[in-house]
């Protein structure tokens, strides 16, 4: 009897030990798998400087605004026309010679009402092309999430010399390797031309062209001298805000990166400091010979979404002139006028 009971106890102990060992092995496997990224594919795009995924709730796409106030769409009324005020400001700057040309595009993102001043005038998008390049990579990552984790080495030979007035706060360094996600972050936030060149060189042929075709934007990204209008460029921001081309997560991420831009001398300086703005600026410096001396002619542009608490709106400004400080100032002044008018009517 004692011998039979002892055997039962030994079997029970063996089973308990076996179960304990199995659970321990499973836990160890999960721990190791997590470290290798096997069980967390969505974490593949993480890097130290470039946050990935949600930062709390969505805050930059349309659904985030409608979630905060479901009645917003029903009670939103049209803005009273104020285009004449913007035209007056532009005319005054043209008369003083502070700028030689200004075009703007405005759209109320609550109801779609818009107006433009020279919105079909063509300009050199230059640095603004970083936005569709980001969209191209994020679109690719929707079907191949690991693409954002891909590492690319920077040799320092990929970037052609470029004359710019606004210098990036940070630049990638030759001899170092960066993930695609980190390069996108640096390209947008720090306006790093080297990061752009590296990403452009490593994007499979046809993917950038597809973005322009899908959004019906008439522009050839392979022609360095091709031009674009403000009304056409608006398409990129509209699909991001509505999350109608990229999924919600990627649309939110793109707008969040744009909101972190280190360039604050333009439109961002024309709105209250507590107001989010997801924008991208661009500039082009060209030389013209006059009176036997080389004269520099500047194009300075900025386009973005300004997140007024009750009425987010899209604003694009293109300016030309020979004084960059005055071009930055017209960006600020137009943005301030537009924001105050929207705020007054909201």
**pLDDT by residue (tens digit) across 137-188?**
999 999 999 999 999 999 987 665 566 677 777 889 999 999 999 999 999 9
In the predicted model, is pLDDT for residue 285 greater than 50?
Answer: yes
**CA dihedral in degrees (246, 250, 304, 222; nearest 10)?**
-60
pTM of the model: 0.80
Angstrom CA distances, 46 to 154, 169, 184, 275, stand at 19, 22, 12, 27
The structure tokens 């030689």 sit at 100
In the predicted model, is pLDDT for residue 19 greater than 80?
Answer: no
pLDDT band at 327 (very low <50, low <70, confident <90, very high): very high
pLDDT tens digit string along 215-249? Answer: 999 888 877 677 889 999 999 999 999 999 999 99
Q: Which DSSP string do the residues of 214-243 spell out, in sequence order?
A: HTT----TT-TT--EEHHHHHHHHHHHHHT
Domain boundaries, the chain: 41-345
Q: What's domain 41-345's superfamily in CATH?
A: DD-peptidase/beta-lactamase superfamily (3.40.710.10)
Report, as an integer, the average pLDDT of 206-223: 91
- Which pLDDT score is estimated for 23? 52
- Which pLDDT score is estimated for 293? 65
Angstrom CA distances, 232 to 39, 143, 291, 338, stand at 42, 27, 37, 21
CA angle 301, 221, 241 (to 5 degrees): 60
CA dist 214 and 245 (Å) reads 9
């Amino acid at each position: 009897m004692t011998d039979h009971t002892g055997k039962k106890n030994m079997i029970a102990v063996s089973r308990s030990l076996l179960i304990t060992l199995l659970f321990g092995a499973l836990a160890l496997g999960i721990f190791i798998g997590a470290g290798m990224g096997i069980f967390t594919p969505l974490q593949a795009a993480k890097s130290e400087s470039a946050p990935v995924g949600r930062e709390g709730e969505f805050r930059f796409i349309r659904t985030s605004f409608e979630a905060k106030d479901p009645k917003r769409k029903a009670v939103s009324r049209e803005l009273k026309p104020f285009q004449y005020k913007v035209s007056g400001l532009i005319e005054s700057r043209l008369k003083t010679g502070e700028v030689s040309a200004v075009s703007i595009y405005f759209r109320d993102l609550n109801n779609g009402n818009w107006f433009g001043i020279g919105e079909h005038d063509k300009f050199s998008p230059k640095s603004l092309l970083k936005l569709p390049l980001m969209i191209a990579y994020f679109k690719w990552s929707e079907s191949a999430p690991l693409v954002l984790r891909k590492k690319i080495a920077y040799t320092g030979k990929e970037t052609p010399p470029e004359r710019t007035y606004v210098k990036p706060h940070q630049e990638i360094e030759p001899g170092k390797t960066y993930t695609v996600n980190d390069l996108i972050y640096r390209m947008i936030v720090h306006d790093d031309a080297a990061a752009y060149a590296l990403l452009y060189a490593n994007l499979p042929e046809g993917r950038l062209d597809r973005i322009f075709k899908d959004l019906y934007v008439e522009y050839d990204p392979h022609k360095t001298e091709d031009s674009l209008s403000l009304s056409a460029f608006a398409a990129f921001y509209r699909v991001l805000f509505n999350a109608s081309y990229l999924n919600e997560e990627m649309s939110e991420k793109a707008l969040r990166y744009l909101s972190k831009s280190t360039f604050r001398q333009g439109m961002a300086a024309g709105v209250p400091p507590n107001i989010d703005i997801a924008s991208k600026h661009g500039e082009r410096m060209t030389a013209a010979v006059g009176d036997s001396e080389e004269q520099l002619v500047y194009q300075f542009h900025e386009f973005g979404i300004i997140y007024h608490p009750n009425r987010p709106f899209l604003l694009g400004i293109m300016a030309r002139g020979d004084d960059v400080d005055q071009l930055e100032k017209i960006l600020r002044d137009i943005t301030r006028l537009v924001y105050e008018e929207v705020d007054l009517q909201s």
